[in-house]
Every structure is written in structure tokens, then in C-alpha cells.
Structure 1
Amino acid sequence: MPESEGETVNRRKNLIAWVSLGVSLVALGLKYAAWAVSGSIALKSDALETVINVAAAIGGLWAIHLAERPADDNHTYGHYKAEYLSAIIESAMVLVTALLIAREAYEGFVHPQNVDAPWLGLVLNGVATAVNLAWGLTMLRIGRRIRSPALVAGGQHVLSDVWTGFGLVAGLALIPLTGWHWLDPTIAALIAVNVLRVGWEMLRQSVSGLMDEAPDSAILSRLNEVIAEKAVGALEAHDIRIREVGAITFIEFHLVVPGTMTVAVVHDICDRIEAGLRNALGRCVINIHVEPEHKAKDSGIVLAHATRCY
């Protein structure tokens, strides 16, 4: 029996989540070694952030597994929002990490230390940064394509680590050349600010998803076009509502039809609309409430000659 679209997406999510965990562990090992050989506060801060990457990858696996579960008596709309919960938890962990890194930076200013073997530490950290760059871009691209909040949040988190790594390597390379040891805690402080910024943005996006924020105007426009094109025989569509939960789009609206139209004909119209919406928007849960013509509203999509949209 061939795999459904939903099963294919879920399998891909699971694969990405497992690979993400493996990449995070490799990066953590490299960054821990970089800190161990150098004693740099900035490198320690970077390693500390990567610990959160590992925890986030584990949380992402849990969320994706839970989101795959079908609807049940307690969750009649399914478990799709588990990915948003995972993204919010990851955002909170990122914010806590920023505070811990800031504390390390403060200790570095108060009790400055020399950085030992900086070049070896920078090489190890640079390798970890390159690994994270390749994987972060992959996660972000795939997460956006399959509309996975957990993968998008994970990709954003990993890429924040990359930009931090680039700045860290460039800054610490100046220490043996200039003797400016204050650069070490300064870079750590900048890492904290960047991590705080990324964590806040991740939190904002995740809360928007949980609050059922409307999608962008392009999606709404496309939805209206499909209804106008496919509702041949109907008179109007109004009270259109749409929300996105991960890879699933929930759509509901009222469809006004002539009072003399048979149930069979109305059913065919609804089938055409549903097929058109799924073809245009992907996986959808659609609820169409059919009404007689005296229920028409001026604010709806008027289907003149069944195809034109005003």
C-alpha cells in the first residue's frame, strides 16, 4: 500500500529530528574540546549554548512523535500543536542559556584569565560551526517546505549558533595578536545578546502559532481564488476562517446555494472546492456549512455566473 502524503511528511520529520540530534552531539563534542584546550570563556559560552541544542533536538523528537498521533476522544483536532509547544520550550531554554552566558561574561570581566592554546580551540570550534551551518540551513529549508514549527525553530536555533561561531572565531583570533584578553568576556557578552534576540523571535513565532494567527495575505487570496473557481453553481461564500497548525491548514466557511438545488449537486460542489483547496494549499481539514440563498451576506465572496469573484 503506497504511503500517504501525511505519512511521508512524518517520516521525513523523524529522520531530520534524529539527524539533528546526532549533529548536535558532534558539535557539542567539538566545542567542549575547544573550551577544554583553551580555557576561553567565550568558547565555554558557545559550548553551553550547544548543550541546549542537544536538549532541543531531544525535545523536537518528542514533539514530532506526539504530533503524529491521530485524533482521539480527548484531542478531536489531533495533536499537531505539540510542535508549537516544543518550539516554545526550546525558546525558553534559549533565553535561559542567554542569561547563563551573560553570567559567564560577567565573571570574565571581574576575574580575567589568559586564553591558552587559542588556535587549536578556534580550529575545533570552526569545524563545529561549519557542521552547524550546513545542517542549520538544511533544517530551515526542509522545515519551511513541510511546514514544521519544530524543525523551523530548530534550524533558527542552530543558525544563531553559527553566526555566534563566526564572530567568536574572528574575535578570539585577535587575542594572541593584540594581547587584548578583555576580548574574551566581551565576545561572550555579545554571544549572550545574540542568543537572547534569537530566543525572543522563536518565542514570538511559536506563540503566534498557538494563538491561531491568520496566515499571510497571499494564502488568503489564493483560498478565495480557489473557492471562486471551483464553486460552480453556488451563489456566495462568507464567514471564511483559516488557521495553520504545523503542516495542516484548517478551513471553514459558509456556502450559499439556490434553495432548489439538490443535496447531491451541493455535495459535488463541496467536493470540487475541497479538492481544489487541497491541491492549492496541501493538507487541509475543511468544514463547509451550506446555506440557502436568503442567508447571503454582502461581505462574502459573490460568485457571479459561478466563477467570478468580487
Structure 2
Amino acid sequence: MVWDRKVRIALLSVASNTILIILKVTAGMLSGSVSIISEAIHSGMDLVASCIAFFSVRHSAKPADKEHPYGHGKIENISGIAEGLLIFVAAGMIILEAIKKIHTPMEIEQAYVGIAVMVGAGIVNLLVSGKLCRVAREEDSMALEADALHLRTDVYTSLGVAVGLVLMKVTGLFILDPIVAILVALFILKKAWSLCKSACDYLLDTKLTDPEEAEIDKILGKYHDKFRDYHKLKTRKSGNMKHIDFHITVDPHVTVAEIHEVIGCLKKDMAEEFKYTRVNVHVDPYREEQSE
């Protein structure tokens, strides 16, 4: 089943984040580096985000029911907002801690341990986020996309902290540690804003993208000889499900069986173009006064 694949990859993210938190906290305590501690906080938020993604992909896979006739897909959009807000909180905590360290910079002990952990964390998150991105793209899952974004930012921030630690060892400027932490937080904030905006767009039933609607128009154009025109096109997205609604104008002499076959072909073509699609077609009779 499709949801089994999504759940498995979400569990992989939970496991990797748990291990990385343990390593980062240990390295942070040994070195006293605020940038490493900030990364541990970041990974803590990543772990919460991974758990949210895990539960949301399981819940979103439930079929439509009497109370939720359009399915449960929007739980993934809600989880995307929750994960974005978690990133904002993590960034705020990092900035506050870094500001304290700017006023009282501390020498970093056992910096090489911190460097090794940060580089290792970056590599692990690069591999896991790559898998998450691939599955999120193939299954059109916002929850997994949000989780992948968390881990991808962790790649950049972990490597950024490692570079900062190297520079501190070379220059002896320990104030670089909190400065790097603040840069990490600002980078995270930018990604969080992008994630929240995207999730909110889908919750507010923003239409599909222009290229997607162009594909819909192209498919409808294939059947232009079967009906007079189409109008009132409305599109939206719920989770990974794309909802497409439109009206077609049909000549009075066309039978119900004929137009039913045309609609079936339209739905089939759209399902082939868009992996998860629900199409609703309303038939309008053509009247002579319409042409006047």
C-alpha cells in the first residue's frame, strides 16, 4: 500500500533524528559550543517534526468517510504549518542563546569532536532528506516535504557550524561561535516562512499552479469536438489529492451514454496526468440563445 511506504520513510526520519540529537548534545556538552547546542535544539525540533509527519501521513491515508467526504488529506497541510512554527521556535531559542554568548564568548574545548559530529550529522541528514524528498515528490506528500525541508536545513546548518569551529581553531576568535549560530537561525527562519506559506495556500484552497491548469486545458482541448465549450474551471488541492471541477456545454442531441463516455475519457486522461485526482464535471445543455 502507498501509505506503508510513506510511513516507513517517516519512521526513518524519526530514528535518524533521535540518534543525531544524542550525538549533538554529547558533543555540545564536551565542547561547550553554543553553535553545537543550537544544532542539538534544531535536531530536537526536527524530531518533533518527524513525529508529526509520521502521524499525519498515517492519518491522511484514511479513506473518505461520511463526515469527511473529501478525505483526510489536509492533515498533511496542517502538519506542514505545525512543522514550520516549530522551526520559528527553534530559531528564536538559538538566537537568544547566541546573544548571551556574544557578550561572554567562551573557549571551545574538544572542537575536533564537535567538527566530526557536525560533518557526520550533515552527511546523514543529506542521505535521509534525499530519500524523503524523493518519496514526497513521488507521493505528493506535503508532510514528508516539510520533514525533508527540516533535514535539508540541518545539512546546511551542521556544515556551517563545522566550518565555524574550524575557523575558531585557526583564528582563535571564539565570538565566531555565537555569530555562526545566529546565521544558522536566520537561514532556518527563511525556510520556515516558505514552508508555512505553502501549507497555508493549500488550506485556503489556492488553485493549482498555472502549468497544471494549462495541462487541464490541453486535455480538455483534445475533446473539443465532443462538446461546445467548458467553463467555470475550479481547482484546489487537499493533501496529495487534486480536485478539478468544471462545466461543459453539450448539444441537446447528445445522449447521456455518449457524454458519459466522454467524461470517462476526460477523467482517465487527467488521472494519468496527475497521479492523485478527483474530477467533477457538470453538464450544461446548449441553447440557441447562447450563440446570439
Q: TM-score, normalised by structure 2?
A: 0.95
Distance 1:193 1:283 in 2: 36
Is the contact between residue 24 and residue 54 of structure 1 (CA under 8 Å) also seen in structure 2?
A: yes
- Please show how residues 79-98 of structure 1 align to structure 2 within 5 Å: 79-98=72-91
How far is 1:269 from its partner?
1.1
Q: What whole-Å deviation, never above 9, does each CA across 1:102-140 have from its counterpart, x for those lacking one?
A: 011011012222110001111012111110011112212
Q: Kindly report the root-mean-square deviation, in angstroms, between the aligned alpha carbons of the 2 structures.
A: 1.6
| Preserved contact between residue 63 and residue 86 of structure 1 (Cα < 8 Å) | yes
Is residue 2:82 matched to residue 1:57?
no
DSSP 3-state at the match of 1:255: strand
- What is the letter of the counterpart of residue 75 of structure 2? A
Q: How do 1:217-296 and structure 2 match up within 5 A?
A: 217-230=210-223, 232-294=225-287
Q: How does 1:143-182 map to 2 (within 5 A)?
A: 143-182=136-175
Task: Give the aligned length.
Answer: 291
Instruction: Classify 1:122/1:297 alpha carbon distance in 2 versus 1 (closer, same or farther; 3 Å).
Output: farther
CA contact (8 A) 2:80 2:195 kept: yes
Conserved? CA contact 1:17–1:61, under 8 Å: yes
The structure 2 residue matched to 1:47, chosen from 15, 40, 55, is 40
How far residue 295 of structure 1 moved from its aligned partner, in angstroms, is 8.8
The DSSP-based 3-state class of the residue aligned with 2:10 is helix
Contact 2:53 2:76 in 1 (8 A): yes
Deviation at 1:294, TM superposition (A): 2.1
Worse-matched range after superposition: 98-107 or 213-222: 213-222
Q: Which whole-Å deviations, capped at 9, do the CAs of 1:186-232 have from their partners, x for residues lacking one?
A: 11111111111111111111111111222222111111111121465
Per-residue CA distance 1:151-170 (angstroms, 9 max, x = gap): 11111111111111111111
C-alpha contact (below 8 Å) 2:130/2:148 kept by paired residues: yes
Using the TM superposition, name which of 131-140 and 55-64 deviates more: 131-140
Using the aligned pairs only, state the percent identity.
27
Alpha-carbon contact 1:143-1:152 (below 8 Å) kept: yes
Q: Secondary structure at the match of 2:248?
A: strand
Aligned to 2:8: 15
Secondary structure of the equivalent of 2:146? helix
AA aligned opposite 1:246: G
Q: Which amino acid aligns with 2:64?
A: A
Gaps of 5+ in 1: 1-6, 299-310
Please state whether the residue corresponding to 2:23 is helix, strand or coil. helix
Partner Cα distance (1:19, 1:253) in 2: 41
Q: Find the residue that maps to 2:287 and give its secondary structure.
A: helix
The 2-side partners of 1:102 and 1:297 are apart by: 64
CA distance in 1, matches of 2:249, 2:206: 26
Q: Which residue of structure 1 aligns with residue 189 of structure 2?
A: 196
SS at structure 1 position matched to 2:109: coil
Cα contact 1:84–1:209 (8 A) shared by 2: yes
> 8 Å contact 2:243–2:277 — kept in the other structure?
yes
Which ranges in structure 2 are unaligned for 5 or more consecutive residues?
A: none
Which ranges of 4 or more aligned residues in structure 1 deviate by more than 6 Å? 295-298
Counterparts of 1:233 and 1:133, CA distance in 2: 50
Aligned partner (choices 122, 131, 143) of residue 124 of structure 2: 131
Give the AA of the match of 1:125. Answer: M
Q: Confirm or deny: 8 A CA contact 2:118 2:159 kept in the other structure.
A: no
- Alignment of 1:66 onto 2:59: yes
